[in-house]
Amino acid sequence: MSATTWIRNAAWVVAWDAKRQAHRYLRDADVVFTANVIDHVGPGYRGRFDTQIDGSELCVMPGLVAIHCHPTNQPITRGIREELGNPKMYMTALYDRTNLWPADDEGMLNGVRVALGEMLKSGVTSVIDFANKVPQGWLDVLVESGLRIFAAPAFRDAQWVVKGGSHLTYEWDEKVGREAMERSLALVEAASKHPSGRLAGVIAPSQVDTCTARTLQESARIAHDRGLMWQTHGAQTLSEFHEMTRRHGKTPVQWLHEIGVLGPWATVAHCLFIDEHPWTHWAERADLRVLAETGTTVAHCPVVFSRYGQTMHSLGKYLRAGVNIGIGCDSAPHNMLEEMRQALILSRVASADIHDISTSAVFHAATVGGARAFRREDIGRLAAGAKADLVLLDLTNRYMRPMRDPLRNLIYTAADRAVRDVYVDGVRVLAAGEVRTMDIPAATAALESAQRRAEATVGQRDPQGRSGIEVSPLVLPLD
Q: pLDDT exceeding 90 applies to what percent of the chain?
A: 93
Report if residue 381 sits inside a domain: no
Residues 6+ apart with CB under 8 A from 294: 257, 262, 263, 264, 266
99 pLDDT above the threshold of 90: no
Radius of gyration of the chain (CA): 22
Supply the pLDDT for residue 164: 86
Supply the pLDDT for residue 40: 98
292 pLDDT above the threshold of 80: yes
Residues 6+ apart with CB under 8 A from 66: 119, 124, 126, 127, 128, 327, 328, 329, 334, 336, 366, 370
319 pLDDT above the threshold of 90: yes
pLDDT digits (tens, 9 = 90+) for 226-248: 999 999 999 999 999 999 999 99
33 pLDDT above the threshold of 80: yes
Supply the pLDDT for residue 233: 98
Find the CATH number of the domain harbouring 49.
Answer: 2.30.40.10
Q: pLDDT exceeding 70 applies to what percent of the chain?
A: 100
pLDDT digits (tens, 9 = 90+) for 253-287: 999 999 999 999 999 999 999 999 999 999 999 99
Q: Give the count of beta carbons closer than 10 Å to the beta carbon of residue 464.
A: 8
Whether 170 and 198 share a structural domain: yes
Kindly state the average pLDDT of the residues 188-199.
95
Residue 143: which of 174, 168, 109, 175 has the closest Cα? Answer: 109
Residue 207: DSSP 8-state = B
1 pLDDT above the threshold of 80: no
More confident residue, 98 or 26: 26
Report if residue 378 sits inside a domain: no
96 pLDDT above the threshold of 90: no
pLDDT digits (tens, 9 = 90+) for 466-476: 999 999 999 99
Whether 58 and 199 share a structural domain: no
pLDDT digits (tens, 9 = 90+) for 375-386: 999 999 999 999
Supply the pLDDT for residue 98: 74
Q: Which of 326, 347, 373 is the last residue of a domain?
A: 373
310 pLDDT above the threshold of 90: yes
Host domain of residue 456:
446-471
Helix (H, G, I), strand (E, B) or coil at 376: coil
Report if residue 25 sits inside a domain: yes
Kindly write down the DSSP assignment for every residue of 407-447, as one continuous string: HHHIIIIIGGGGEEEEEETTEEEEETTEESSS-HHHHHHHH
pLDDT digits (tens, 9 = 90+) for 184-193: 999 999 999 9
pLDDT band at 166 (very low <50, low <70, confident <90, very high): confident
pLDDT digits (tens, 9 = 90+) for 331-367: 999 999 999 999 999 999 999 999 999 999 999 999 9
pLDDT band at 414 (very low <50, low <70, confident <90, very high): very high
Supply the pLDDT for residue 247: 97
Whether 410 and 288 share a structural domain: no
Report if residue 479 sits inside a domain: no
Question: What are the DSSP E strand ranges found in 18-74?
Answer: 22-34, 37-42, 51-54, 58-62, 64-66
Whether 411 and 368 share a structural domain: no
Report if residue 383 sits inside a domain: no
What CA–CA distances, in Å, run from 214 to 85, 246, 252, 355? 33, 19, 15, 42
